[in-house]
């Protein structure tokens, strides 16, 4: 007899993929649902060992405390997939869906091979009905593919309901985003069985999320909402970055423009911080995915529209690198440059698609020597990102920002770490140890430029006219003319 999904109480959850999404999501779930046993499985033994150790594989404020509190009680990390899948009532698929690097859709389409192999594994080992939840960000209609793979391989008497439940956490604030989500989307089939599966997952979230924030919808809307949300967020940054270029050319200040725009209650103040460019594992991949889907559906104008959001980001990263070279008298060959910040944003050690990589490579190509400092990124990761085997070829990685600055011609801020702000660092000390003229290039517009100018730095920043602060500094002496 087929087990009815409605008869499945959610007592045990298994999550495949102990990455940036699966790890924090399941930790917060275990914290809020002491009546549910959560097992996170991953094929990567090192990663699982790290989750079981004192040094977690990812850094997220507040995460370590939660893991310590729940691990061994109702939160487990394991490489042994089959038993955890067999026992589970509900399975999250939280594996990565990278952009394809070969074949049809190369460079744009999402590679679903890991998601498909999870579906095959589930069908192979499970002998009772389950709810399978797609948490990985996937192209629209992926749930249908998971259903097909499951159906074609299911054991007799077993049935599956596949739900879409995209994750909206941002790195660096993952724990807070998970504890207090703006919304939880649950997409499922409109059948009776589908509705029951949606209710079961909804019940899990209701442990800590209020009912008005849990939104039920059809599977395709849920899948598309995730891609659309990331595309809109990236679009906002690309828009303000486009305006930053106009500011630099005209003398307007992008912070003032952003403030003016953000006060319009229809627009709101968030995601208007001009920068050296956006990075991270999701934006680029998800927009490329949206572009590819649109092209596949013959919606070429839609595809071109979203492609432009990516193109603007590439332009922004290149523009910043070029500005550094131009400002330093059109040559940085053999000059030493300190890069402050390598992560794609503050409060994370993640460097995926980090704009710092683009900038660093640009500077290396121009013949500079780089001194790189980031409070959270490991040396090996930086070298890997820059395609280097060791600290030869003009790169040295530092664990102390003052050591990184010593003997350099310029400081380049690529990540908006709080500690880079003037009151935290002694920029006078850095200035004294640098070659003159000493430059600061603020790719995040976070520093106190007038304080730096007063020290003697030549300051260049995103979204303000070339050398404006330098000129401001000179103008101060010509007061009254
Ligand atoms: C996430 C999301 O799940 C994805 O949808 C989103 O678009 C990008 O971010 P993330 O958690 O950041 O992925 O990926 P990652 O940190 O690479 O973790 C994925 C984990 O899945 C890895 O630890 C990997 O070892 C594991 N994995 C992958 C498996 O266990 N089995 C597989 O078949 C494939
Ligand atoms: C993003 C989405 O915010 C999240 O909802 C989704 O689940 C995953 O993708 P994440 O990539 O972790 O999260 O970080 P986010 O805070 O969105 O920042 C992305 C990039 O944009 C970073 O490089 C950040 O520095 C940059 N950014 C952000 C800006 O340049 N300006 C801004 O105003 C905001």
> Counting ligands in written order, which one lies closest to the CA of residue 230?
2
What residues are annotated to the active site? 282
Q: Cβ(21) to ligand 1 under 6 A?
A: yes
In the prediction, which pLDDT does 9 show? 84
- pLDDT band of residue 479 (cuts 50, 70, 90) is very low
Greater model confidence, 130 or 7: 130
For ligand 2, say whether the CB of 282 is within 6 Å of any of its atoms.
yes
Residue 137 Cβ < 6 Å to ligand 1: yes
Q: Which fold has domain 220-480?
A: Rossmann fold (3.40.50)
- Using one digit for the tens of pLDDT, what is the confidence trace for 278-307? 999 999 999 999 999 999 999 999 999 999
- 264 pLDDT more than 50: yes
What share of the chain in percent tops pLDDT 90?
Answer: 85
Question: How confident is the model over 412-421, as a mean pLDDT?
Answer: 95
What helix, strand, coil percent values describe the chain, rounded to 5?
Answer: 45, 15, 40
Residue 5 has pLDDT above 90, yes or no: no
The number of residues making up the chain comes to: 481
pLDDT score, position 475: 33
Exposed / middle / buried, residue 449 (Cβ in 10 Å: 0-12, 13-18, 19+): buried
When pLDDT is cut at 50, 70 and 90, the band that residue 481 belongs to is very low
User: Rounded to the nearest whole angstrom, what is the distance from the C-alpha of residue 42 to the centroid of ligand 1?
Assistant: 9
> Residue 255 C-alpha to ligand 2 middle, in angstroms?
18
Domain 12-209 has what CATH class? alpha beta
Atom of ligand 2 nearest to the CA of 282: 9
Print burial letters for 53-73: b (CB count within 10 Å at least 16), e (below 16): eeebbbbbebbeebbeebeee
pLDDT in tens, 168-204: 999 999 999 999 999 999 999 999 999 999 999 999 9
Give 180: exposed, middle or buried? Use CB within 10 Å, 0-12, 13-18, 19+: exposed
Sorted by where each begins, the domain ranges of the chain are 12-209, 220-480
pLDDT of residue 8: 58
Task: State the pTM of this model.
Answer: 0.92
Cis peptide before 143 (omega within 30 of 0): no
Mean pLDDT of 121-135: 95
* Ligand 2 atom closest to residue 279's alpha carbon, by position in its atom list: 23
Give the per-residue pLDDT at 478. 31
Least confident interval from 134-138, 147-151, 239-243, 468-472: 468-472
Q: Which ligand number lies closest to the CA of residue 169?
A: 2
If one counts every other C-beta atom within 10 angstroms of the C-beta of residue 416, the result is 21
Distance 17 CA to ligand 1 centre (A): 5
What are the structure tokens assigned to 423, written together?
């009151």
Hey, do 12-209 and 220-480 end up sharing a CATH topology, with the first three levels equal?
A: yes
Closest approach atom of ligand 2 to CA 273: 33
């Amino acid at each position: 007899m087929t087990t009815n999904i409605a008869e499945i109480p959610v007592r045990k959850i298994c999550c495949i993929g102990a990455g940036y999404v699966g790890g924090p999501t399941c930790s917060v779930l275990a914290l809020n649902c002491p009546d549910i046993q959560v097992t996170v499985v991953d094929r990567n033994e090192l990663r699982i060992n790290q989750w079981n150790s004192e040094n977690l594989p990812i850094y997220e404020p507040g995460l370590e405390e939660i893991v310590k509190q729940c691990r061994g009680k109702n939160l487990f990390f394991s490489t042994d997939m089959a038993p955890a899948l067999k026992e589970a009532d509900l399975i999250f698929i939280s594996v990565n869906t990278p952009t394809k690097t070969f074949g049809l859709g190369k460079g744009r389409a999402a590679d679903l091979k890991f998601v498909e192999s999870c579906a095959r594994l589930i069908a192979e080992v499970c002998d009772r009905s389950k709810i399978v939840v797609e948490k990985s960000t996937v192209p629209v209609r992926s749930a249908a593919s998971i259903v097909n793979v499951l159906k074609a391989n299911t054991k007799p008497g077993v049935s599956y309901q596949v739900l879409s439940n995209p994750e909206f956490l941002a790195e660096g604030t993952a724990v807070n985003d998970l504890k207090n989500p703006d919304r939880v989307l649950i997409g499922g089939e409109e059948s009776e069985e589908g509705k029951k599966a949606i209710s079961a997952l909804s019940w899990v979230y209701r442990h800590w999320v209020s009912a008005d924030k849990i939104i039920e919808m059809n599977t395709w809307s849920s899948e598309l909402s995730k891609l659309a949300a990331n595309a809109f967020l990236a679009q906002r940054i690309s828009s303000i970055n486009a305006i930053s270029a106009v500011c630099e050319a005209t003398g307007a200040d992008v912070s003032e423009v952003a403030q003016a725009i953000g006060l319009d209650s229809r627009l709101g103040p968030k995601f208007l911080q001009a920068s050296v460019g956006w990075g991270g594992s999701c934006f680029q991949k998800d927009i490329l995915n949206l572009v590819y889907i649109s092209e596949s559906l013959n919606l070429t104008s839609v595809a071109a529209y979203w492609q432009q959001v990516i193109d603007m980001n590439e332009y922004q990263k290149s523009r910043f690198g070029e500005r550094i070279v131009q400002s330093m008298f059109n040559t940085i060959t053999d000059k030493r440059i300190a890069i402050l910040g390598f992560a794609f944003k503050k409060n994370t050690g993640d460097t995926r698609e980090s704009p710092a990589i683009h900038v660093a490579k640009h500077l290396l190509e121009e013949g500079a020597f780089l001194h790189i400092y980031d409070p959270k990124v490991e040396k090996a990761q930086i070298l890997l990102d820059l395609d280097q085997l060791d600290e030869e070829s003009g790169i040295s990685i530092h664990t102390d920002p003052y050591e990184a600055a010593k003997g350099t011609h310029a400081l380049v801020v690529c990540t908006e770490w709080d500690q880079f702000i003037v009151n935290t660092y002694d920029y006078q000390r850095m200035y004294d140890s640098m070659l003159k003229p000493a430059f600061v290039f603020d790719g995040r517009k976070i520093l106190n430029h007038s304080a730096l100018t007063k020290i003697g730095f030549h300051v260049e920043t995103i979204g303000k006219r070339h050398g404006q602060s330098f000129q401001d500094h000179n103008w101060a002496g010509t007061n009254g003319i």
